[in-house]
Chains A and B, each alone.
Chain A
Amino acid sequence: MHELAIIEDMFRIILKIADENRLERIDRVTMEIGEYRQIDPSVFRFAFEAAREGTIASDARLDIEFQTVEMRCEECGNSFSIENFIFKCPRCRSGDLHIIKGMDIFIKSIEGE
């Protein structure tokens, strides 16, 4: 359900960017979402459709690109993607890891005119 709060903040940003760029209509928003954030795409879409109503994005399309979680092992320096949420280095089995990718929720692009 944190999808709702995230959509709210996302709309604050896209409407501001549209305003700064003098867009009268937003046609498409592309998001890059890290899998660490456990965003359910159908809940996210539902919240997007509710939030866009009555705004200049009311007909906008939403594209989501998911980004896998990547970690670096502090023990052996190995970089790898997380599978099945097992946070262990596949090379040395260490659990001393550092996240390097897949934890952010980016607005990648906004299209409109």
Chain B
Amino acid sequence: MKNVLDRNRDMAARVRDILSARGIRMINMISSPGAGKTSLLEVICEKLSGEIRMAVIEGDVATDRDAQRLKKYDIPIVLINTGGGCHLDSNSIDIALREFDLHSLDVIFVENVGNLVCPAHFDLGENFKLALVSTTEGDDKPIKYPMLFREAGAVVLNKTDLMDCSGFNRQTFISDLDNVNSQVPLFELSCRTGEGTDAFMEWLKLSISK
């Protein structure tokens, strides 16, 4: 029997080999549109670009808006326009990697296309998937989109500054997340106010240096 997922998986394994041979980590950021992937990248650039050599692969359906937002941090950025495609695949990452100088990088962040379903099923060769969800989307995301939260190596709950006014039930969220993935670390933060971001950065630095 032929596994249809093999093609993407084989290329992901190749990407993983290329990166691990050079000691580079890759983090695949996945969320719905507007949860705050680019905002979190801005915070990461502000706080860590002085001590960690980072690059970004921006997956965007059609524009270069997010890449433009990150330009001021003076880090290498490669834009992949999926032309309507709902997720990045490992082949597009393999091509994007050719644009970087891989001798001078510690970590590559991939901002996947805004979508809670499809990106969860395509291994890009990352070290782990970072699932982002924001309080304004509702507390039911882990149970409605279980595979992303199951696949995630870490979960960020963003926009904690809006938790009260959006009626987000934190207990429901945490217990649903526990049912889907009881082992995943959760970071609650606000890219707007900065609350909770220091703890996340500490964890991120550790996971990059490992």
Q: Interface on A for B, CB 8 Å cutoff?
A: 1-2, 4-6, 9-10, 12-13, 17, 32, 36-38, 85-88, 95-96, 104-108
Which A-B residue pairs are the 10 nearest by beta carbons?
A95-B182, A2-B118, A85-B146, A1-B86, A106-B1, A105-B4, A107-B2, A86-B179, A10-B4, A9-B4
CB distance from A108 to the nearest CB of B (A): 6
What A residues does B122 contact at CB under 8 A? Answer: 2, 5
Does A88 lie within 8 Å of B179, measured CB to CB?
yes
* 12 A-B contact pairs sorted by A residue (CB < 8 Å): A6-B4, A9-B7, A13-B4, A17-B2, A85-B146, A85-B179, A87-B179, A95-B183, A104-B3, A105-B5, A106-B2, A107-B4
In the bound complex, CA of A1 to CA of B121 (Å)? 11
Q: Give the one of B89, B143, B181, B182 with max A CB within 10 A.
A: B182
In the bound complex, CA of A6 to CA of B121 (Å)? 10
What A residues does B3 contact at CB under 8 A? Answer: 104-106
Task: Tell me if B117 is interfacial: C-beta within 8 Å of chain A.
Answer: yes
In the bound complex, CA of A104 to CA of B182 (Å)? 23
In the bound complex, CA of A37 to CA of B5 (Å)? 10
In the bound complex, CA of A21 to CA of B73 (Å)? 55
- B117 CB contact (under 8 Å) in A6, A10, A38, A85: A38
A-B pairs with beta carbons under 8 A, tally? 69
Does B178 lie within 8 Å of A95, measured CB to CB?
yes
In the bound complex, CA of A85 to CA of B183 (Å)? 15
What A residues does B121 contact at CB under 8 A? Answer: 2, 37-38
Q: Is the interface of A mostly helix, strand, loop or mixed?
A: mixed
Chain B's interface size range is: 20 to 34
Task: Tell me if B129 is interfacial: C-beta within 8 Å of chain A.
Answer: no
What A residues does B181 contact at CB under 8 A? Answer: 87, 95
Known contacts A5-B89, A38-B147: A106-B4 contact under CB 8 Å: yes
In the bound complex, CA of A55 to CA of B87 (Å)? 26
Does A87 lie within 8 Å of B8, measured CB to CB?
no
Does A1 lie within 8 Å of B117, measured CB to CB?
yes
- Given A5-B89, A107-B2, 8 more A-B residue pairs with CB atoms under 8 Å apart are A1-B117, A1-B118, A2-B118, A85-B179, A87-B179, A88-B182, A104-B5, A105-B5
CB distance from B144 to the nearest CB of A (A): 9
CB distance from A99 to the nearest CB of B (A): 9
In the bound complex, CA of A36 to CA of B33 (Å)? 23
Task: Tell me if B150 is interfacial: C-beta within 8 Å of chain A.
Answer: yes
CB within 8 Å of A: which B163-210 residues = 178-183
Does B182 lie within 8 Å of A108, measured CB to CB?
no
What A residues does B179 contact at CB under 8 A? Answer: 85-88
**Closest A residue by C-beta to B150:** A87
CB distance from A57 to the nearest CB of B (A): 15
What A residues does B180 contact at CB under 8 A? Answer: 85-87
**Closest A residue by C-beta to B183:** A95
**Closest A residue by C-beta to B2:** A107
Task: Tell me if B34 is interfacial: C-beta within 8 Å of chain A.
Answer: no
